[in-house]
Amino acid sequence: MQPYVDDSLPNTKLESIVAETINFNFPLVKINESIYSLELFHGPTLAFKDVGARFMSRCLGYFNRNNNQKVTVLVATSGDTGGAVANGFLGVEGVDVIILYPSGKVSPVQELQLTTLGQNITALEIQGNFDDCQAIVKQAFMDGDINAKLSLTSANSINVARWLPQQLYYFYAYQQWQQNEAPVVCVPSGNFGNICAGMMAFASGLPVKHFIAACNANDVVTNYLQTEQYAPKQAIATVSNAMDVGNPSNFIRIQQIFNNEFSSLKNKLSSISVSDDTTKKTITKVYKDYNYTLDPHGAVAYYALEQYHQQGYILETAHPVKFPDVVEEAIGKKIEVPNEVKHLFEKEKQSILLSSNYNDFKEWLMNK
Ligand SMILES: *Cc1c(COP(=O)(O)O)cnc(C)c1O
């Protein structure tokens, strides 16, 4: 990480931030002879976003250490981002976090992760969908009254501090990779921050035979690699909802790693778009054949890697318990709740219910 940080952080500080960021396991688990799973869900909120959120929160806390004014992090979430950000920032001094999530549209584990932390974390339960939450956040960033009163910042993956540390687990995977040939790496992709981190790791020397960007019905990059036409679309809702992105903001960074040369990018990166129906069938099949439970995002990646017919691994980006409706129907039984989140069910949800009207949000924030 040091070359990316240069002297903006002292080395000892960087070391302690990295140590705190990755103090959980990243096991590479064998599913069958050709496909392994890099499990990124052993962090506090059971999603790979823990890595980026923990790194970013600690950096922000450090950079803000001498400021008198508090920083307010505003995030809209469809589930995973909010939980990871909230958990990463819990107790970080000088930072308040406000999370907007769509009422009734996140799973029980996700909602508890958002609403039971307390301290500097406030959860706003918006009576609307994810787009309503995001629209409120976007408008707040442009609102003169709010910006005169508060110092706002965002925590999405446009911010390089979110995805730079994600390079580290690709190196951990290689440490565990026991084959002679370098692996094909298949990444379930939405905003393309995760796969961008993998390609940065490759650019700095990590052996990777080929990358596959596994997408759901949101197929902008899949189409681009076939046609060389980049045509953003409205996002389509799918069962792998953390990847419902119609215009992935990190793809341009990947193009720059390859000097904007289409043919060299295409040599290293393939992309497949996988339907919801295939995603669910893949969860069923992998459970039956190999007794391994995929979450919907991992299932998209599994199917994509299987089509490629070479040895490699998928990134399993979230624990299946975060998507119980889809997974339990596909495997025909209840998912066991992992010990890491059992305690959540003893806590009480604390959220503030607001309409999706911007003025209600503004009034609440200005009087906070
Ligand atoms: C955010 C997320 C993704 C997509 O990651 P990007 O970096 O946006 O491509 C995939 N799976 C899960 C579970 C996620 O939460």
Does residue 273 belong to any structural domain of this protein?
yes
Residues 271 and 215: beta-carbon distance below 8 Å: yes
Does residue 313 belong to any structural domain of this protein?
yes
What number is the average pLDDT over the span 109-134? Answer: 92
Q: H helices within the chain, ranges in order?
A: 2-5, 11-21, 49-63, 80-89, 108-115, 130-141, 144-149, 160-163, 167-176, 193-203, 220-227, 251-257, 262-268, 276-290, 296-308, 324-331, 339-342, 358-366
Residues 321 and 211: beta-carbon distance below 8 Å: no
What number is the average pLDDT over the span 244-255? Answer: 91
Number of folded domains that form the chain: 2
The DSSP letter of residue 318 is B
* In the predicted structure, residue 212 carries a pLDDT above the cut 90: yes
Residue minimizing CA distance to atom 2 of ligand 1: 242
Please tell me if the CB atom of residue 125 comes closer than 6 angstroms to any atom of ligand 1.
no
* In the predicted structure, residue 156 carries a pLDDT above the cut 80: no
* Same domain, residue pair 115 and 133: yes
Does residue 106 belong to any structural domain of this protein?
yes
* Same domain, residue pair 213 and 308: yes
Residue 111 and residue 101: Cα distance in Å, rounded? 9
* Same domain, residue pair 155 and 169: no
Please tell me if the CB atom of residue 191 comes closer than 6 angstroms to any atom of ligand 1.
yes
What number is the average pLDDT over the span 89-116? Answer: 92
Ligand 1 centre distance from Cα of residue 243 (Å): 6
Most confident of 61-65, 244-248, 282-286: 282-286
Residue minimizing CA distance to atom 1 of ligand 1: 242
* Same domain, residue pair 235 and 317: yes
Q: What is the CATH number of the domain that holds 350?
A: 3.40.50.1100
Please tell me if the CB atom of residue 316 comes closer than 6 angstroms to any atom of ligand 1.
no
Atom of ligand 1 nearest to the CA of 297: 11
pLDDT value of residue 339: 85
* Same domain, residue pair 166 and 303: yes
* Same domain, residue pair 177 and 319: yes
The catalytic position among 13, 49, 285, 347 is: 49
Residues 198 and 185: beta-carbon distance below 8 Å: yes
Residues 130 and 102: beta-carbon distance below 8 Å: yes
* Same domain, residue pair 173 and 206: yes
* Same domain, residue pair 153 and 183: no
* In the predicted structure, residue 158 carries a pLDDT above the cut 80: no
Ligand 1 centre distance from Cα of residue 363 (Å): 32
* In the predicted structure, residue 166 carries a pLDDT above the cut 90: yes
* In the predicted structure, residue 134 carries a pLDDT above the cut 90: no
Does residue 367 belong to any structural domain of this protein?
no
The gap from C-alpha 267 to its chain's centroid, in whole angstroms, comes to: 26
Per cent of the chain over pLDDT 70 is: 100
What number is the average pLDDT over the span 260-269? Answer: 97
Does residue 59 belong to any structural domain of this protein?
yes
Q: pLDDT, tens digit, for every residue of 333-352?
A: 999 888 888 888 899 999 99
13 assigned to active site? no
* Same domain, residue pair 152 and 238: no
Q: What is the CA radius of gyration of the chain?
A: 20
Domain with 79, as residue range(s), is 51-159+343-362
pLDDT value of residue 157: 73
* Same domain, residue pair 232 and 294: yes
Ligand 1 centre distance from Cα of residue 99 (Å): 18
Please tell me if the CB atom of residue 83 comes closer than 6 angstroms to any atom of ligand 1.
no
Confidence of residue 235 (pLDDT cuts 50, 70, 90): confident
* Same domain, residue pair 82 and 39: no
Please give the mean pLDDT across all residues of the chain.
94
- Residue of 317, 319, 327 to mutate, ligand 1, most atoms within 8 A of C-beta: 317
What number is the average pLDDT over the span 261-287? Answer: 98
* Same domain, residue pair 189 and 134: no
pLDDT value of residue 147: 95
Does residue 338 belong to any structural domain of this protein?
no
- Residue of 80, 200, 222 to mutate, ligand 1, most atoms within 8 A of C-beta: 80
